[in-house]
Structure 1
Amino acid sequence: MVSTLAPFFIKYDYNSLMKKLLIFLILQTFLFANSSILIINSYHKGYEFSDSIINGIEKVIYPHSNIDVNILYMDSKRVTSKEYYDSLEKLYRVQLKNRKYDLIIAIDRFAYDFVLDIYKEFFKNEPILAVGIENFSFKKAKYYGVEDKVSALLEKRDLEGNVDIIRTIFPSIRKLYIINDKSLNAQHTEPLIEKLINDFKGKFDIEYIIEDNLEILKKKFSKKEENSAALFIRFYKNKDGKLYKNQEIADFIKNAQIPIFVTDSIFIKKGATGGKVIDLKDFGKLSGNMALDILNKKAHKVVTYKNLTYIFDSQKLSQFYLPVDGLSIPYKLINKRLTYYEKHRGFINFVFTISPLLLFLILGLIHNIYMRKQVEKDLRRRIEFDETLLNAIESPIFWQDSKGIVVDSNKTFCKLLGMKCDDLYGKKLEDFIENRNVEKIIKVIENYNLDSEENNEFNFVNSNKKKKIYLLKQERFKDEKTKSEGYVTIFTDITKEREITIEKQKNRQFVIQQSKLAEIGEVFSSIAHQWKSPLVEITAIAQELFYTKKCEEVKEDDSFVKDIMNQVSYMTNTINEFQRFIMPSNKKIDFNIKEAIERMLEIINHNIKYNSININLDIKDDTNLIVYGYKNEFMQSFLNIVNNAKDALLHNDYKNRKIEIKVFNEDNQLIITIKDNAGGINDKSMDKIFGAYYTTKEDGHGIGLYMTKVIIEDKMNGKISVENIDGGAMFTIKLEQNQ
């Protein structure tokens, strides 16, 4: 019985449903047949407030293909002068001539006021729907004679409701800023703001900001302010008539360091923390439904939009630590941090659906991946080995392709340039021309390419200020597999080899000098032998004279002979001492610095006294005076410095000629300072004073101080320097000592 009757009932219900649907479509077509709507927008196209409302209206109206919609745009945000409205009226007179509409929709107050002004001239009995105005005056409608033709959907921003929700989620609030501009629309909101201030007076501080400069607002809220928030109503136009773009306002709201709440949906998802807002698209849909009701000849009515929604931005709530979990009212969260599953829900569902088909494919891929991993592992080992080997090479190496782009290098090359390798790869050396090291390398390579035989060696000062000498070699390479080609450049450090060569040259020069000193020694040795014989004869004669004189003159002659003998003995000792000094040392020995200095001073004592020079030798107590080196050569070096001081002091007054010599230990070294008061060395000569053949004397040869530096530094592994101090020059000699 059931199975027999069931098809009948199903057929009956289906036929009944189709009939009702057909009747509805016919009725709709009849009701809205050839209907025409004129929408006059207060603002320009692109103004988000009115565009959102119109978008909502269109979503309701456009499915009815028999309703024609025409939209006219005013520009009341930018221009509000009487001349503008007069010009607009003339334009519309042409556009609307011989046009009849079934409904006039005015978006916001400027369009509504304009429609009332031109209604008698442009329209007859067309109904009016005012959308987005905040207050409706029946008296005003009656004044224009349209009280029975006007319907309205009022946009009432719930300021009090927003303040209540701010206090609920922000109980520690101490100050609330209310932001409004100086536009005509803002004036309609001011009574609500004044009421708000009075209602919450004493509960917390409310500051009403009527500003026309966005930069001032940005600066004001650029710093974090504890226990403060702001309620943004509107801010679009400054006092000069400039209309701020929504993006500019959104940037301000987003970057503000206090939470900013809003009253409509324009800046939701654009930086606002949230609020009790008017959803403008939903507002537009309700306006569209009211338009259909008017076209359907339903009664006119004035309705206040009450479908306000609590919306909050999850990320902004987190930024300012504002909780909404405890709210008892329904709310919507946007910009929530989605879980992994929520982000990839579709993909996960898809994978579960086709997983059986993928199983065999996965097994094959696993095997393929395993084999590839093995190959990659072997290749990685090879690459790591090559990289380790390359970086172990001390010589800087780098590769360039045919376009001059750096492909690879070792770490030594990057260190040479003072750059990170990752910054260098994939770019040309010319891209870093501001780097002095890179500029130097580029010039070296350019010179090498001009003449590889002549320009294959260059000097380079590294980051430690040490001079290096490199040998350049460049070769072309070509990879047959990739068909790529380029150049590999190698810089071989030959600094040590050059230093050895220079050392050999210095040694050769030192041997030559020793030879010269030996020759001089032989000459003076010969002179000494020639002097000794006559001196002996003088001694014999003096003694004979002493013994043959008369007795009464014995005492006088005795004194005279003794003086002669003392002088002769002194001259003999002096010549012997000078002979020992002038002979070159053949090998290094341990010798006493004090003894060497005093012997040298004895040799030149007569010359020093003759020139009225006062020499003071100060040796600090407990000083280790033993050094290892060439004694006679050290004495020669010491003599050169003292002689230079003596020559300089001859320009001083004879009563003011001093040389101070100090000897002391410091840091396992023996320090010797020789200081004069001859006025010092001029700056021009200071850097050249130890140079070969450099002299400031008219009859000088420029060899003395040069040989002094060679002996002290190259032969005795010491250091010598000079500086001007206290009105004179001071030479400092530092000699290493065995502890």
Structure 2
Amino acid sequence: MIAIEKKIKNRILILILMILLTTGIVIISYENYLIKNHIEHDISTKNKNINKTFNLFIDELDKDIAERTNFMLSYNTRLALKNRDRKALYKNAKEHFKRMRNNKYLKIMTFRLTDGSAFLRVHKPKMFGDSLNKKRRIILDTILSQKRQFGFEVGKLKMTHRIVTPIFYDNKLIGVVEIGVEPEYIIEKINNIFNIESSLFVKNEQLEFTLHKIEDNYKYKVNDFIFVRGSKLIKDNLQKIDFDKKISKIEYKGKNYYIDTIKLFDHKGKTAAKMLISYDLTAFKKEFDEMLEKNLMITFLVIIILFVVLNMGLNYFLKKIDSLYLNILKKDKMMLHQSKLASMGEMIGNIAHQWRQPLSVISTSASGIRVQNELGVLNDETLHNSVNGIVNSTKYLSQTIDDFMDFVKNDKSAVEFDIKENIEKNIEILKGSLKIHQINLVLNCQKEFIKGYPNELTQVFINIVHNAKDALKEQNVKEKYIFIETNKTDKDVEIIIKDNANGIPNHIINKVFDPYFTTKNESNGTGLGLYMSYRIITESMKGNIKVENVEYNFNEKTYIGAMFIISLPFSCQN
């Protein structure tokens, strides 16, 4: 056992080590995923906050400009525009524009007539009278819809966020006022809050009509967008940035950067420009590497500790198993011995029934010879017949003894034997007991050879038939039957034993093969017969045994009983 235990221990330790290493790898991978997910969540949250802040600033800007514009459009201002009085209009609007210029990025205030032509540029009062370019859709749509419009658009100067407000006099549209704020107003605030860099890309079609083309910048064109102004980082890495994706990652001068895209929409909700924001991921990467290194050390330290503890526990466990194995082996031998004794007792009882008739023949023949001899009437023929009867009876008794000795032998060598012959030999021993209890035996067996242990099969056979006999006695059935038949399949031989004792109660039928389970009182049953039968069939004979309740017809009558099905392979050594 010691060599086997060492072999088992080594295999278990290797298996445990593999499991621990695999578990460690899985844990590290999962922790890696969690850390990465945590960092990406932080980055995603930062991106969302940037976008949210950008939109919030846009909304606040639109609201502030709208309020200031409404205040500016007093009666006198509107009257001056109606009367085409440029001087009076400039006088009324100049102070308001000056106050609005507290925002250094508010560069444009233009009053336009209903045909779109520039009537007064407050930021450049000497520049007026030019007609509206047809691509200035925000002006045209404000005039057409007579509703205030917000959005990014390129004018004669550059890309700005435009707030265009219709102007009415006596409920009649007389023109519009256009106020433009450069996107740097918002970009600068976001850069300061989130410590990022940004660059502005304008859609090419927006620049086609502007006077502010920067020819040199056209070489920094990506898809339909042209780099206008912004950080050198993005300008130098345009080929690495996928404009079709909202988010990109690039490496620049030994550092990792995260690139996010904020779309700048025109008044129709279409993309007029894109603002690319970038921030350094070095701190995030450092945090990730430190956490990963820490988790690696902790995980492998835990694996080593677990391995040592499990090794100690395994040594203790194997000692316990060894002790338990010896106890089980001792108990198993005792159970086998008890079962064998019970079967021997049953067989001896059956032998006693079998011996009654031959002993009676011997006794009668001997008494007859003596009486006839005393009376002087004994002749040779009578003597010969009586002696032959005695000899035949003793031969039968001797054969019975041989059968019993075969059963008692503890021979574990597998031999080839005939199933039918084995069953018939067992019936010879049992038929006396069955006859006394008026039990009819119906056989339908074929010669089928298998390789196994005939003596152990005898024990199984006696146990099942003995239980059937007891069940028939308890049920007080008038016509008592035990049926035994054999069937051959491609894989095995089946022995079917059934009775008509009304079956086994459903609540206990699944327990009949359990050790020490019996429905008889302690004086009549040990609960080991069917348990040992199950072990003999499944372990020694490498077969299978099951029991079920069946309803069947025999001699035009319907019966119910328990049916045992024993399946045996052609060789128990395969």
What TM bracket, shorter-length normalisation?
0.3 to 0.5
Q: Which has the higher contact order (CA 8 A, sep 6+)?
A: 2
Q: TM-score, normalization: structure 1?
A: 0.37
